[in-house]
Amino acid sequence: MYDLLAILADGQFHSGTEIGKALGISRAAIWKRMQKVQQVCGCEVESVPGKGYRLLQQVELLCLERLQDICGPGLHVEFLKTVDSTNDYAKRLIREGRHVDVVFAEEQTQGKGRRGRAWQSPYAANLYLSFVWPVSYGMRQLEGLSLVVGLAVQRCISELGWADVGLKWPNDVLSNDKKIAGILLELVGDLADQSHVVIGIGINVNMQGDISSIDQPWTSIAQEFGHGVSRYEVIRSLIAHLIRLLDELKASGFSALQNEWEDKHLWHGKQVVVSSGTSQIEGQAIGVNERGELKLKTADGVEYIAGGELSLRLANDS
Ligand code: BTN
């Protein structure tokens, strides 16, 4: 799909012979791939006998120059057309002692979600990025981090014009009860020494159609807006909010952002079940504390639940 889109991205007609030659595939295979492109990226392909195929809307592919320009000279940006996972790539660079601030990819072949899940990452459809954050003063700097990243994504999507987006502790971003973005934080190094957090963010931007391999309800910005959006616009807003919020977290801690986060928590006041492996705690979600822990009113009193590899679901959800 990656090669096919790269050929069609200019919006001009390309004959079946030209495409078949370039990709080394048959006419039947070309048509199959065209259908996949339409389904996954939500862009229509026109087929005219004698002329060939063209995309009815131009697909905006990412390029390093523009990404670097948006992120500004203070950030070292890397861009890959394809990668296993931007988080894994960033981790490899850090371990090799190479400097990188943000990694973007057009496609991930082994995108990772929380709790060992896969994160579907089709070519040119969505945003897949990893932001590297050096940790200079240990554990305290990480308190509330994953919630703050969720807040940055929530602010970004609502700034683009979609007010109906909220958060589910610790860092799911939902619209109409469906996942629109996901966040995966990974720590590299030793907290007592020099370490980095790799902040992986996946935002469903233009993905549409039926993607059977996704095992949870999902949506995308395009699906909610009813039209596609420029991924550059999303990146511009996201990076600005992320940097602002991370600076704020570093300067004042999570307590300064606690109220805003609670305000955006879609499950505030709801009866929920927190699961970790085989153990489960049920209670009413009544807020978060200054460390970003979930405040749960249970039958035995108020309990504080730390993030990590936990899952939260509604108590009446079978
Ligand atoms: C989740 O399960 O909600 C977390 C999804 C995180 C996906 C992003 S996409 C960019 C980065 N690279 C990965 O492999 N995962 C994260």
Averaged pLDDT for residues 24-45: 80
7, two tokens = 């050929």
CA of residue 144 to ligand 1 center, whole Å: 18
Q: Which of 213, 211, 218 is nearest to 181 (CA)?
A: 218
pLDDT for 151 beyond 90: yes
Tell me if 170 CB under 6 Å of ligand 1: no
Kindly indicate the confidence band of residue 181, based on its pLDDT and cuts at 50, 70 and 90.
Answer: very high
Residues 246, 148: Cα–Cα separation, whole Å:
7
This prediction has a pTM of 0.88
pLDDT of 4 reads 85
Most confident of 41-55, 170-184, 211-225: 170-184
pLDDT of 318 reads 46
Task: Give per-residue pLDDT as tens, 234-279.
Answer: 999 999 999 999 999 999 999 999 999 999 999 999 999 988 777 8
62, two tokens = 């990412």
**What is the atom index within ligand 1 of the atom nearest the CA of 113?**
2
Averaged pLDDT for residues 70-90: 96
Residues 37, 51: Cα–Cα separation, whole Å:
19
**Given ligand 1 and candidates 80, 93, 184, 188, which is best to mutate, with the most ligand atoms within 8 Å of its CB?**
184
More confident residue, 71 or 40: 71
For 223-234, the three-class secondary structure string (H helix, E strand, C coil) is HHHCCCCCHHHH
Task: Give per-residue pLDDT as tens, 184-218.
Answer: 999 898 877 788 999 999 999 988 776 667 778 89
Q: Which of 116, 227, 133, 113 is nearest to 181 (CA)?
A: 113
**What is the atom index within ligand 1 of the atom nearest the CA of 86?**
12
What is the edge-to-edge ordering of all strands in the sheet holding 127-135? 77-80, 102-105, 127-135, 195-203, 178-189, 172-175, 166-168
Tell me if 119 CB under 6 Å of ligand 1: yes
Tell the residue number behind the tokens 């940097």, with chain if given.
243
pLDDT for 125 beyond 80: yes
CA of residue 308 to ligand 1 center, whole Å: 14
CB 141 within 8 A of CB 133: no
Average pLDDT over all residues of the chain: 89
**What is the atom index within ligand 1 of the atom nearest the CA of 117?**
2
pLDDT of 317 reads 59
More confident residue, 29 or 3: 29
Catalytic residues: 114, 179, 313
Q: For residue 225, list its beta bridge partners.
A: none
The residue contributing the CA closest to ligand 1 atom 9 is: 202
CA of residue 111 to ligand 1 center, whole Å: 6
pLDDT of 212 reads 65
pLDDT of 156 reads 97
Kindly indicate the confidence band of residue 308, based on its pLDDT and cuts at 50, 70 and 90.
Answer: low
pLDDT for 172 beyond 90: yes
**Given ligand 1 and candidates 62, 78, 84, 87, which is best to mutate, with the most ligand atoms within 8 Å of its CB?**
87
CB 179 within 8 A of CB 218: yes
